[in-house]
Copies of this chain bind each other. A is one copy, B any other.
Amino acid sequence: MKRYRLTVAYDGTNYHGWQEQSSGITIESVLNDALSRVLGEEIHVIGASRTDAGVHAYGNVAVFDSETRIPGDKISYAVNPYLPDDIRIMESRETDPDFHPRFTDSLKTYAYHIRNERIPCPTSRLYAFQVPVPLDVEAMQEAGKYIVGTHDFASFCASGAQVKSTVRTVREVCVYRDHQASGMGGEIVIRVTGEGFLYNMVRIIAGTLIKVGKGVYPPEQVGRIIESRDRSKAGDTAPAKGLFLEKIEYR
């Protein structure tokens, strides 16, 4: 029995998120079906990030154990033809039998995409949150600085989430206007890299920075929101479709 590691990209639009559940089709269930079919044994992947319904990924990571004789780096070629075109194994390889993608320290990078145009661009509607009022990107970048560091992010954790601690470390927050992005008005991207994230944390950060961008409150308010440890003080949870899990880096 060997352990294999996959880098998985997907369009989250047509799925009920990563994790297998009884309410509908998930990325995990489709991967398990395709891997099981190709490898001829019952495969259960373990994913690094159990992304929500609608959230997209360029580089989620998953592992599984198998008796297969197919070389690790060839598994992606063997399995991709059996996946729908909105899920792709970008890379596969054999990995350490003890490697667990959730219990190993990592840096995760997410990007939240915003279309900042008066009338939403139809070809971007599934992959960005449309905000029709002008946003002040400099103010958003300023506000992002308060997020960086080790903080109790209770204000940025979905209510009802069961966690031992809401302290997390964010390494970097970058907010910029992407003029090259296709469409009429371009995009604003919020990129966040951190050592770990609470449930909905990036989407709540996005919703909060959007409020700063709209001028609802100044950048320094984000510091006060963090200190309050109060979810109701932060912004809305921005829609799932704007969120992309870009990459996961392990030490």
> What residues of chain A have their CB less than 8 Å away from a CB belonging to chain B?
9-11, 56, 58-59, 76, 80, 85-90, 111, 113, 119-123, 125-127, 178, 180-184, 244
Contact A182/B181 with A76-B119, A122-B9, A125-B11 known, Cβ cut-off 8 Å? yes
**Is B11 a contact partner of A122 (Cβ separation < 8 A)?**
yes
Contact A127/B182 with A9-B121, A85-B122, A122-B87 known, Cβ cut-off 8 Å? yes
**Is B178 a contact partner of A180 (Cβ separation < 8 A)?**
yes
Contact A121/B76 with A90-B184, A127-B182 known, Cβ cut-off 8 Å? no
Other-chain contact of A119, B88, B111, B113, B121 (Cβ < 8 Å): B88
Other-chain contact of A123, B11, B89, B180 (Cβ < 8 Å): B11
Name the CB-closest residue of B to A178.
Answer: B180
Query: For the complex formed by this chain, how many copies does it contain in all?
Result: 2
**Is A127 a contact partner of B119 (Cβ separation < 8 A)?**
no
A113: B residues at CB distance < 8 A: 182
* Least CB distance, A58 to chain B, in whole angstroms: 5
Residue among A59, A87, A123, A181 with the highest chain B CB neighbour number at 10 A: A123
A sample of 19 more A-B contacts (CB under 8 A), given A76-B119, A182-B244, is A9-B119, A9-B121, A9-B184, A10-B122, A11-B122, A11-B125, A58-B121, A80-B119, A85-B120, A85-B122, A85-B125, A87-B122, A88-B119, A88-B121, A88-B122, A90-B119, A90-B184, A123-B126, A123-B244
A59: B residues at CB distance < 8 A: 184
* Least CB distance, A126 to chain B, in whole angstroms: 8
Name the CB-closest residue of B to A76.
Answer: B119
**Is B184 a contact partner of A58 (Cβ separation < 8 A)?**
yes
Residue among A56, A89, A181, A182 with the highest chain B CB neighbour number at 10 A: A182
